[in-house]
Amino acid sequence: MSYKIAIASNNGESVNQHFGQAENFLIYEISDEGEIEFIDDRAVGADNHSPSPQQVADSIADCRAVFVLRIGQQSSRIVRERGITPFEVDFSLRKIFETLKRQQQRGRVKLF
């Protein structure tokens, strides 16, 4: 069974956006075999207004985890209510993928 993750990145190389300030999330699907596939560059908000934390969480509701530079307590609660695990990281996407693959090989991707 595969799962999706959302990453707050505007450069495709590193996690560099806060949850509430992200204009988009990069969506990746990770298979049971550890293969990683880019699925979508998902925009949040529209019409030049900032979306609410609920709207942002709804836009990534099909993901099991979200990787952000920072996330506030209220936003963290909102994403957790939707079954999404938030991670505050200052990593490259490559490091995230390497870590997920390693954890998956060890049978430890139970953090989702």
pLDDT of residue 47: 58
Asked if residue 112 is part of any domain, the answer here is no
Bridge partner list, 42: 25
Q: How far is the C-alpha of 56 from the C-alpha of 19, rounded, in Å?
A: 8
| Domain count for the chain | 1
At 40, which CATH number?
A: 3.30.420.130
Please give the residue range of the domain that contains residue 16. 3-105
Global pTM? 0.89
Q: How far is the C-alpha of 54 from the C-alpha of 80, rounded, in Å?
A: 11
Spell out the per-residue pLDDT of the chain, length 112, in tens. 789 999 999 999 999 999 989 989 999 999 877 789 999 999 986 555 678 899 999 999 999 999 999 999 999 999 999 999 999 999 999 999 988 888 777 776 544 4
Asked if residue 34 is part of any domain, the answer here is yes
pLDDT of residue 63: 97
